[in-house]
């Protein structure tokens, strides 16, 4: 008989499926931030990964560089960490992810800290815009 027995392949496939289903939720790290909606062009990140500083609704700062990416960081530590990265990798794009409910002064404060750290320009991250009718209905709902 020259038939291929596919039962072992199915077993392996099911085991891999279970492994991926268990590990996929663990791979997404980050801070829960509700970004404001805006119609903007995406950043060009082909050359290098951007440095992202997040500000959550309570005003705590997070950086996607270094150890403990999901733990809040103090303002001086933010300046030191970002400054070290920008000295090692000049020209790294820098962006701020501010929660839509955070006070505007917190976002400006983060931008000031990034300027002290040596960032030449800072981008603001947003969610892609909703259809105009959805934006208007969201505005009237608040």
The pLDDT of 12-27, averaged and rounded, is: 85
- Which tokens belong to 77? 């530590």
The pLDDT of 120-126, averaged and rounded, is: 81
Query: What is the per-residue pLDDT for 121?
Result: 81
Distance of alpha carbon 121 from its chain centroid, rounded? 18
Judge whether 37 and 117 are in contact, CB under 8 Å.
no
Query: Could you tell me the domains of the chain?
Result: 37-128 (3.30.420.270)
**Cα separation of 57 and 33, whole Å?**
7
Q: Which residue has the higher pLDDT, 79 or 68?
A: 79
Measured from the Cβ of residue 109, the count of other Cβ atoms closer than 10 Å reads: 15
**Cα separation of 81 and 83, whole Å?**
5
Query: What are the strands, taking DSSP E only, across 15-84?
Result: 37-38, 51-55, 61-63
Query: What is the per-residue pLDDT for 131?
Result: 42
Query: What is the per-residue pLDDT for 99?
Result: 85
Nearest to 100 by CA among 138, 65, 140: 138
Each residue's pLDDT tens digit, 22-65: 887 766 555 565 656 666 566 555 567 888 899 988 888 998 87
Average pLDDT, the chain: 79
Residue 117 has pLDDT above 60, yes or no: yes
**Cα separation of 97 and 56, whole Å?**
8
Backbone angles phi, psi at 69, to 5 degrees: -65, -25
- The DSSP bridge pattern shows strands 37-38 and 94-98 to be unpaired
Q: Which residue has the higher pLDDT, 131 or 94?
A: 94
């Amino acid at each position: 008989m020259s038939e291929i027995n596919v039962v072992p392949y199915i077993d392996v496939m099911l085991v891999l499926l279970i492994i991926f289903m268990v590990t996929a939720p663990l791979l997404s790290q980050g801070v829960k931030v509700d970004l404001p909606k805006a119609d903007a062009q995406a950043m060009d990140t082909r050359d290098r990964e951007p440095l992202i500083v997040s500000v959550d609704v309570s005003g705590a700062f997070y950086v996607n560089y270094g150890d403990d990416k999901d733990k809040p960081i103090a303002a001086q530590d933010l300046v030191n960490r970002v400054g070290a990265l920008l000295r090692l990798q000049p020209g790294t794009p820098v962006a701020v992810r501010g929660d839509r409910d955070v006070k505007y002064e917190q976002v400006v404060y983060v931008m000031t800290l990034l300027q002290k750290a040596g960032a030449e320009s800072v981008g603001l991250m947003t969610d892609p815009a909703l259809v105009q009718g959805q934006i208007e209905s969201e505005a009237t709902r608040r």
